[in-house]
A and B are shown apart, each in its own frame.
Chain A
Amino acid sequence: MSEKRSLWEYANPRKFMGLSGTLLPWVAISGGALLLIGLIWGFFFTPDDYRQGSTVKIIYLHVPSALMAINAWFMMLVASLIWLIRRHHVSALAARAAAPVGVAMTVIALVTGAIWGQPMWGTWWVWDPRLTSFLILFLFYLGYIALWSAIENDDTAADLTSVLAIVGSVFAVLSRYAVNFWNQGLHQGASLSMDKEENVADIFYYPLLVAIAAFILIFVALVLLRTRTEIRARQLRAYMARERMQ
Chain B
Amino acid sequence: MMVDLGDYAVPVISAYISSIVILTVLIWASLSRSAKVKRELEEFESKRKSNG
Contacts and interface: CB of A to CB of B under 8 A. Distances in A.
Interface of A: 39, 43-44, 48, 53-55, 57-58, 61-62, 65, 100-101, 104, 107-108, 111-112, 115-116, 118-119, 218, 222, 225-226, 228-229, 232-233, 235-236, 239-240
A54 B22 contact: no
B11 interface: yes
Given A39-B16, A53-B8, A61-B16, A226 B38 contact: no
Interface residues of B, number: 32
Contacts of B38: 229, 232
A39 B23 CA distance: 14
B26 A222 contact: yes
Interface in B1-46: 1, 3-9, 11-12, 14-16, 18-19, 22-23, 25-27, 29-31, 33-34, 37-38, 40-41, 44-45
A232 B41 CA distance: 7
A62 to B, nearest CB: 7
Contacts of A228: 34
A236 B19 contact: no
Interface of B: 1, 3-9, 11-12, 14-16, 18-19, 22-23, 25-27, 29-31, 33-34, 37-38, 40-41, 44-45, 48
A228 to B, nearest CB: 7
A196 to B, nearest CB: 27
A16 to B, nearest CB: 15
Contacts of B16: 39, 43, 57, 61
Given A48-B6, A54-B8, A104-B26, A226 B34 contact: yes
A107 B5 CA distance: 24
B26 A100 contact: yes
A228 B25 CA distance: 19
A225 B31 contact: yes
A233 B44 CA distance: 12
Which of A115, A222, A233 has most B Cβ within 10 Å? A115
A58 B4 CA distance: 15
A55 B48 CA distance: 58
A115 B48 CA distance: 53
A118 B3 contact: no
Contacts of B8: 53-55, 119
B8 to A, nearest CB: 5
Nearest to A61: B19
